[in-house]
Amino acid sequence: MVVHIILYISNQKISTEFYRSVLEIAPSLDVPGMTEFELPGGTMLGLMPEKGIKSLLGETIPDPARGHSIPRAELYLEVDDASGYHKRVLDNGGKECSPLLVRDWGSKVAYSMDLDGHILAFSQKVQ
């Protein structure tokens, strides 16, 4: 099984550059209407323009653009350098929600928001 997580975004080019810089990886697919990043472990992170999903599914769904900048999803990534990822989010125009702190569940986690309001959590084990 391969897991695809698809975030609906307002501007594909800008979001692609944001995630390329934050994740420090190039997209494995970048065509009009979809960008994909292959994450460690085989999970695919997709970026699809809000207009694209609305066009695909039409009136069966509310317009995702109406929820712009409202957190609608969280991407929680366990990494070796949570501070570095969090800093790259901020350096690329993302917003800090919570700095890197030791959380009740025993991990150090920093929370931020991408350019479209999706929550990004970068976690690392406490040593």
Query: Range with the lowest mean pLDDT among 2-6, 24-28, 37-41, 64-68?
Result: 64-68
Which amino acid, one-letter code, is at 65?
A: A
In CATH, what number is assigned to the domain containing residue 113? Answer: 3.10.180.10
Looking at the 3D structure of the chain, how many domains does it have?
A: 1
Tell me the torsion sign for CA atoms 18, 22, 28, 34: negative
Of 124 and 72, the structure prediction assigns the larger pLDDT to: 124
Name the average pLDDT for the chain: 94
Q: For the residues 38-51, what does the mean pLDDT come to?
A: 94
Q: What is the pLDDT of residues 63-107, one digit of tens each?
A: 888 887 888 889 999 999 999 999 999 999 999 999 999 999 999
Instruction: Identify the domain containing residue 104 by its residue range.
Output: 4-125
pTM of the model: 0.92
Query: Range with the lowest mean pLDDT among 48-52, 57-61, 110-114, 123-127?
Result: 57-61
